[in-house]
Amino acid sequence: MKVLLVDDEKHVRKTVRKLIDWEAFGFHTVLEAEDGTEAVELIREQRPQLVITDIMMPVKSGLELMEWMELHAADCKKIVISGFNDFEFVRHTVKYGGTDYLLKPIDRGHLQEAVGKAVASWNEANRAKLQFHEKNKEVNELKPMYRDKLLSRLLTDAASGSAPLPGESYLREFPELAAVRSCQVVILDLNTMQRPIRDKYKASVDLLFFSVLNICNDFVQTGGQGTAFRNWNKPYEIVLLLWDEPDMAARWLRKISDGLNRTLKGAVDFGVSAACSFPDGLDQAYTQALEALNGRNLLDLAARIHEYRPSPAMPRIGTVRFGKYEEKTRLAVRSGNHEQIRLAVSEWFRDIRAMPAITMEQLKMWWDEFNVARAGWVEEFFRQCHESPQWPSESGQFVVPLDEDGRLSLTLLQQTMTNRLIELSQVLISMQAVNSNPMREIARYIETHYTQDITLQDISARFHLNREYISRKFKLEFQETMIDFVNRIRVEKAKLLLISPYLKVAQIAQMVGYHDEKYFSRVFKKQEQMTPNEFRKQALKELG
Model confidence pLDDT, tens digit, residues 3-27: 999 999 999 999 999 999 999 999 9
Task: Look at residues 119, 32, 126, 17 and name the one whose alpha carbon lies nearest to residue 77.
Answer: 119
**Residues recorded for the chain:** 544
Please state, in angstroms and rounded to a whole number, the distance separating the CA atoms of residues 84 and 82: 5
Task: Look at residues 492, 473, 474 and name the one whose alpha carbon lies nearest to residue 482.
Answer: 474
* Domain-embedded: residue 428: yes
Q: Are residues 361 and 383 in the same domain?
A: yes
Q: Are residues 28 and 53 in the same domain?
A: yes
* Domain-embedded: residue 405: yes
> Among 289-298, 411-420, 433-442, which is the least confidently predicted range?
433-442
What one-character-per-residue DSSP string does 312-360 give?
-SS-SS-S--GGGGHHHHHHHHHHT-HHHHHHHHHHHHHHHHT-S--BH
CA angle, 50 then 32 then 56, to 5°: 85
- What digits encode the pLDDT tens for the residues 30-63? 999 999 999 999 999 999 999 999 988 988 999 9
Mean pLDDT of 164-175: 66
Q: Which of 380, 406, 434 is the last residue of a domain?
A: 434
Q: Are residues 184 and 92 in the same domain?
A: no
Q: Are residues 423 and 467 in the same domain?
A: no
The CATH number of residue 452's host domain is 1.10.10.60
Task: Look at residues 403, 394, 401 and name the one whose alpha carbon lies nearest to residue 423.
Answer: 394
Q: Are residues 334 and 276 in the same domain?
A: no
Return the pLDDT at 392: 43
* Domain-embedded: residue 409: yes
Query: What amino acid is encoded at 497 in this protein?
Result: L
Return the pLDDT at 492: 93
Q: Are residues 415 and 358 in the same domain?
A: yes
Task: Look at residues 246, 144, 191 and name the one whose alpha carbon lies nearest to residue 399.
Answer: 191
What string of H, E and C letters represents the secondary structure of 521-533? HHHHHHHHCCCHH
Please state, in angstroms and rounded to a whole number, the distance separating the CA atoms of residues 13 and 39: 13
* Domain-embedded: residue 163: no
Return the pLDDT at 345: 93
Q: Which of 434, 456, 488 is the last residue of a domain?
A: 434
Mean pLDDT of 315-342: 80
Task: Name the more confident of 309 and 171.
Answer: 309
> Among 142-151, 394-403, 488-497, 504-513, which is the least confidently predicted range?
394-403
Q: Are residues 455 and 412 in the same domain?
A: no
CA dihedral 401, 407, 410, 415 (to 10 degrees): -40
Q: Band of the pLDDT at 386, cuts 50, 70, 90?
A: very low
> Among 96-100, 131-135, 390-394, which is the least confidently predicted range?
390-394
Report how many domains make up the chain.
Answer: 4
Return the pLDDT at 385: 47
The CATH number of residue 17's host domain is 3.40.50.2300
3-state SS assignment for residue 399: coil
Q: Are residues 283 and 335 in the same domain?
A: no
* Domain-embedded: residue 141: no
* Domain-embedded: residue 161: no
Which burial class, exposed, middle or buried, applies to 33 when counting CB atoms under 10 A from its CB (0-12, 13-18, 19+)? buried
Cβ–Cβ < 8 Å for 535, 501: no
Mean pLDDT of 459-488: 90
Please state, in angstroms and rounded to a whole number, the distance separating the CA atoms of residues 369 and 435: 27
Task: Name the more confident of 267 and 525.
Answer: 525
Q: Helices (H) and strands (E) in the chain — how many of each? A: 21, 11
Task: Look at residues 51, 20, 15 and name the one whose alpha carbon lies nearest to residue 36.
Answer: 51
Please state, in angstroms and rounded to a whole number, the distance separating the CA atoms of residues 325 and 256: 43
* Domain-embedded: residue 174: no
* Domain-embedded: residue 138: no
Please state, in angstroms and rounded to a whole number, the distance separating the CA atoms of residues 299 and 203: 28
Mean pLDDT of 411-429: 87
Q: Band of the pLDDT at 432, cuts 50, 70, 90?
A: very low
Q: Are residues 184 and 289 in the same domain?
A: yes
pLDDT at 347 over 70: yes
Q: Which of 283, 307, 331 is the last residue of a domain?
A: 307
The CATH number of residue 287's host domain is 3.30.70.270
Domain housing 354 = 322-434
Return the pLDDT at 170: 67
Task: Look at residues 454, 355, 517 and name the one whose alpha carbon lies nearest to residue 508.
Answer: 517
pLDDT at 502 over 90: no
Return the pLDDT at 474: 92
Q: Are residues 339 and 412 in the same domain?
A: yes
Average pLDDT in the chain:
85
Q: Are residues 184 and 302 in the same domain?
A: yes
Mean pLDDT of 407-417: 89
Task: Look at residues 150, 242, 182 and name the one whose alpha carbon lies nearest to residue 504.
Answer: 150
Task: Name the more confident of 390 and 212.
Answer: 212
Return the pLDDT at 198: 78
Which range is most confident: 158-167, 244-253, 296-305, 348-357?
Answer: 348-357
